[in-house]
Amino acid sequence: MSSLLCSSIGKKLLMGLSGLFLMMFLLIHLTVNSLLLIPDGGDTFNAAAHFMATNPFIAVVEPLLAIGFIVHIVWGILLTLQNRKARGSARYASGNKTKGVTWASQNMLILGITLFAFLVLHVAHFWVKMKLTGDPLLNDVTVNIAGVPTEVENAYALINATFAELWVVIVYVVAGIGLALHLSHGFWSSFQTIGFSNDIWRKRLTILGNVYAWFVGIGFSLIALLQYLFFQG
Amino acid sequence: MVKIDAKIPEGPLAQKWTKYKADQKLVNPSNKRKLDIIVVGTGLAGASAAASFGEMGFNVKIFTIQDSPRRAHSIAAQGGINAAKNYPNDGDSIGRLFSDTVKGGDYRAREANVYRLAEVSNEIIDQCVAQGVPFAREYGGLLDNRSFGGAQVSRTFYARGQTGQQLLLGAYQALMRQVEKKTVKLYTRNELVEIVLVDGKARGIISRNLVTGEIERHSAHAVVLATGGYGNAFFLSTNAMGSNGSAAWRAYKKGAAFANPCFAQIHPTCIPVHGEFQSKLTLMSESLRNDGRIWVPAKIEDAEAIKNGKLKPTDIAEEDRDYFLERRYPAFGNLVPRDVASRAAKERCDAGFGVGSTGLAVYLDFKDSIERLGKDAIEARYGNLFQMYEKIVDDNPYETPMMIYPAIHYTMGGVWVDYELQTTIPGLFCAGEANFSDHGANRLGASALMQGLADGYFVLPYTVQNYLSDFINTPRMSGNEKEFVEAENEVKERFQKILDIKGNRSVDSIHKELGLAMWDFVGMARNADGLKKAVDKIKSIKKEFWSNVRIPGSKEGMNIELEKANRLVDFIEIGELMAIDALHREESCGGHFREEHQTEEGEAMRHDEKFAYVACWIDKGGDKDPELIKEELEFKDVKLIQRNYK
Amino acid sequence: MEKNINLTLKVWRQNSPKDKGGFETYQVKDISTGSSFLELLDVLNEQLINEGKEPVAFDHDCREGICGMCSLYINGHPHGPDSEITTCQLHMRKFNDGDTIWIEPWRSAGFPVIKDLIVDRDAFDKIIAAGGYVSVNTGGVPDGNAIPIPKDNADESMDAASCIGCGACVAACKNGSAMLFVSAKASQLALLPQGKVEAARRAKNMVARMDDLGFGNCTNTGACEVECPKGISIAHIARLNREYLSAKLQD
């Protein structure tokens, strides 16, 4: 088993599995975010955020999520460095004109680095304020959860205020597109890496992967954009 | 004095091999480790032999001029491999495969060898299946067979159009398994340049490392040559660019007899020559003749118009087409054997009816088959061949007929070997296309793969062991013995001499000149006058080489021109011996057609009373004429008849 | 119709593995569009020899697309700008009069240059030696029809087996990965009952050897499959991943 993780396929297995895990997280994240679009002043979203923050299951998953990110990033860099070495220092003077290869598949590291930069900003915007430093906007509000009035953190206010800034929205839209590109290769690729693919399933997984990637990518972008356009004031 | 003794075991034909195996001497496992075998060449015969020797426990060194054993030209064989399995239940048997092969070879092969070949053919299929060769299968999961020229049964096993590739990869993988186990040491990009004899026995080789240019000495207790044929003496052939006759020729120069050099096979369905830069000819599988009809225009003015580009083949009306094979051979039609089909095409082109810009091509037309079976059926059968044709010629064979012309394909002649595949030099064995033994004057389709693997897997492991059993107390040589030192010095002198010529012509330009002379005078149809001219012409080419070749670079490091020049020296001499042999054989048989010896209808005429022998040529050194020794062929189990395909 | 064209060639020249190497520019005239790419190089070499220069060294042998000896990275593609063929089957009608053609060796740390356009592909042999076979000795095997094999499996096995070991997959891969080559052999044998017996051991040994030799990690770009002259599918890579992971998980 230990030698498994040292082998090329084993390292890629870690990339694939962590990728699949992160993709599941993204789907849940997007579902919760979609509540931001309910025009009730953020009550539903705040209730959902409260549920997520107090759920013991999430408390277990959160460190796992962090590990998922770290593994995916560290191994991604490690593998790319190895691949550069394997490629050798010489480059083709006539370039690479192979047709039918997606741009995303050739640039996963660049997309990954972009997403990482965004992630830092994203964590600073929300997670740091909600979990560590606090923010006046987060002051408790009362919402009805299953008919019971409950005091919850006003996460909606923080988000709404953040998305009032045009530059933030632009960054989020760009990151959403980057995410879609990253996932458009990553989705299918994860299945290929764990061995779940053949000539038939490859076509299905590629289509499914593209639908998923753009749904998630555009979904996040759109929420930020709509918040800026229709949910201010 | 060289003695020609085939050493055929006593007893009835069907018992000879069994008897040999029962009587042969063995080497015990602890002694095998002390015995070294050098194998030269990694094609079907070489790779399979080396792998088998390694498995048995001998210490093996194997050499290839390519970067990997898998490049050997066996890989290019398309059609299939014969075996007498009789899976289709169509009446096949070892006896029938034996008699078909002897007949196909026009009765110029040794009965005992051919029978053994037929006998082990079935084991080859089993062996290859066990190795994971993905042979074609039927829906029931069992092996599929197809039919091939010269047989009335379906006995050809195949793996798409890449049978040679799959069989070679099987042997190559078995070989690499032994390399991993360190029983075999692999030398790539390393070429035999001399054979070393000690006390008259083969005890090693001198080789040239093609990357560094260094000359190396390698000693052993026995040497096996499996280096393929010499068809590239014609420059243009279906052989690979690197295929050469030099190892076999080194054996000849060291005293081994060279048998039937004039027996070369010309394959009828090759893509025609397109211009002076042409470097090699591409074969289109013989299987195409199952559904294609061969024709030329019946009117000479139509042929002229096609040559000038004024008419297209599709413009020629049905009644103005001459389906010359169907006309001449109504019984076999387009499926006559290779030699017959080739000569008929040449006859039409020589008479001015040829097509294509050069007039040296005939049509192979699938129109009728497409109408009869539908385009899909034809595509399923020949799709990959049609695609290859279109890539090369840029014509769509579904719409326009293919153009084909004969080309040199295989050499039945080669180093003479006895029943044990041993040459006249003790300890020097020769296998596969490099030897002369099994195909007589003409080889049947799908028999080359069978012979290569039979020799390597199932014959040499017995016969070489039998030979080595006498050497268990013979110590290894260090390579510093005087015979090795002298051989190395001779080799170095030879290379220096070539480098010192510093003339004006490239190796290829001289090779092309040799090829033209060979094709014109020693090609498909030969006559005494032409062959005499060929001998003179080749002598002058030899002089031109030794006075005017130019080799850039030095003997250090990789020097491809030097490699080619060294091989061309031998091709020139082989060409000369081919002409001499063709001149002496005053009959027509198989691939050897003497215009003086034909029937009134222009068919080949054999003279069994005078020429039912193997012509064994012995080098007498220097410029002296070679000596001819005959191995008389006895036919006890097949009756000699004139072939008739009408 | 065939015509003659003039071309400018930019050819990588490197005298020895340690030499730095660089591009040389050559002009060639009156090349028939009916000739093959390697015949173009033959013409160039004849020209160079006549000028007293050293000809360009390049690997080639069968010139009919099956031996896997020819290589060359031509104008941004391994085996040049045509699909599912090797360099020896590439014809000059794919180029236009006045074109500039870049001719480079395979580039990968696993394939060091020996001279000019010739690279060392010994690594492939070493990978096969690690396990790319069925461990049977000569003789003593069952009848060829003893085990029926479903036609679909035999056909798919043959698809994988058509690999010619040319190295275009490695040359095309931005990661210098040999996964297509390795998976083609592992997949061919794993699909057959004869090879299935030692499939786990084979997958482990071949992958370990591939890693040891310094080839890169597959990132599933699929470039290898596009440039493979035999059109071998990366579905075989998925099968190798499956074989390898299940083998390792059982350790």
CA distance A53 to B47: 69
Of C207, C221, C235, the CB nearest to A8: C207
With beta carbons less than 8 A apart as the criterion, state whether C119 and C167 touch: yes
For chain C, give the longest Cα–Cα distance. 64
Residue C1 confidence (pLDDT): 63
CA distance B393 to B400: 11
Residue B445 confidence (pLDDT): 86
Half-sphere exposure of A99 toward its Cβ, with a 13 Å CA cutoff?
6
B243 has a pLDDT exceeding 70: yes
Rounded to an integer, the average pLDDT of B35-41 is 98
Give residue C60's identity as a one-letter amino acid code.
H
Reduce the DSSP state of residue B408 to 3 states and report it: strand
> What residue spans define the domains of chain C?
4-114, 122-249
The values of phi and psi at residue C83, to 5°, are -100, 150
**pLDDT tens sequence across B273-297:** 988 889 999 998 888 888 899 999 9
Picking from C106, C250, C82, C81, the residue whose alpha carbon sits closest to that of residue C178 is: C106
| Residue A193 CA: distances (Å) to CA of A11, B555, C7, C234, C248 | 10, 49, 44, 11, 14
B399 has a pLDDT exceeding 90: yes
- Please give the positions of B annotated as active site: 338
What tokens does B473 get?
């107390």
- Mean pLDDT for chain A overall: 94
C189 interfacial to chain A (CB closer than 8 Å) = no
Which pairs from B29-34 meet CB under 8 Å and 24+ separation? B29/B57, B31/B472, B32/B56, B32/B57, B32/B58, B32/B59, B33/B57, B33/B58, B33/B59, B34/B59, B34/B472, B34/B476
> What residue spans define the domains of chain A?
2-78+104-230
| Residue B538 CA: distances (Å) to CA of B390, B494, B581 | 37, 20, 14
CA distance B463 to B103: 27
A63 interfacial to chain C (CB closer than 8 Å) = no
CA distance C163 to C231: 9
Question: Are the beta carbons of C227 and A85 separated by less than 8 Å?
Answer: no
What tokens does B261 get?
């050099």
A78 interfacial to chain C (CB closer than 8 Å) = no
Angle in degrees, CA B614, B615, B616, rounded to 5:
105
Give residue B181's identity as a one-letter amino acid code.
K
> What residue spans define the domains of chain B?
268-409, 482-613
**pLDDT tens sequence across A113-165:** 999 999 999 999 999 999 899 899 999 899 888 888 989 999 999 999 999 99
Question: Are the beta carbons of C175 and A87 separated by less than 8 Å?
Answer: yes
- Integer distance in angstroms from the first to the last C-alpha of chain C? 62
pLDDT above 90 covers what percent of chain B? 87
Picking from B178, B99, B174, B258, the residue whose alpha carbon sits closest to that of residue B615 is: B258
What tokens does B577 get?
């011996």
CA distance C71 to C234: 21
Lowest-pLDDT range of A204-213, B122-131, B304-313, B502-511:
B304-313
**pLDDT tens sequence across B173-222:** 999 999 999 999 999 999 999 999 999 999 999 999 999 999 999 999 99
Picking from B101, B107, B153, B100, the residue whose alpha carbon sits closest to that of residue B642 is: B107
Angle in degrees, CA B249, B253, B257, rounded to 5:
80
Q: Which residue of B has its CA nearest to C58?
A: B560
Q: Which residue of A has its CA nearest to C174?
A: A87
Residues in chain C predicted with pLDDT less than 70, given as ranges, are 1
Question: Are the beta carbons of C48 and B140 separated by less than 8 Å?
Answer: no
Rounded to an integer, the average pLDDT of A175-179 is 97
Question: Which letter does DSSP use for residue A140 in this model?
Answer: -
CA distance C34 to C90: 10
Q: What is the CATH number of domain A2-78+104-230?
A: 1.20.1300
Q: What is the CATH number of domain C122-249?
A: 1.10.1060.10
Interface ipTM above 0.90: yes
Give residue C78's identity as a one-letter amino acid code.
P
Chains touching B by CB (3 or more pairs below 8 Å): C
What tokens does C5 get?
């064209």
pLDDT above 90 covers what percent of chain A? 85
Question: Are the beta carbons of A94 and C245 separated by less than 8 Å?
Answer: no
Question: Are the beta carbons of C69 and B67 separated by less than 8 Å?
Answer: yes
Reduce the DSSP state of residue B624 to 3 states and report it: coil
Which residues in chain C are contacts of B275 at CB distance < 8 A?
32, 34-35
CATH of C4-114, one of 3.10.20.30, 3.40.50.150, 3.20.10.10, 3.40.140.10: 3.10.20.30
A1 has a pLDDT exceeding 80: no
B456 has a pLDDT exceeding 90: yes
What tokens does C40 get?
């173009």
* Interface test mutation site (partner A, options C245, C249, C250, C251, max chain A beta carbons within 10 A): C245
CB contact set of C1 (below 8 Å; sequence gap of 6+): none
Residue B151 confidence (pLDDT): 75
CB contact set of C157 (below 8 Å; sequence gap of 6+): B132, B134, C187, C188, C189, C191, C192
CATH of B482-613, one of 1.20.58.100, 3.40.718.10, 3.40.50.720, 3.20.20.80: 1.20.58.100
CA distance C246 to A194: 10
With beta carbons less than 8 A apart as the criterion, state whether C39 and B274 touch: no
CB contact set of A216 (below 8 Å; sequence gap of 6+): A23, A26, A27, A30, A179, A180, A183
Per CATH, domain B268-409 is 3.20.20.100: no
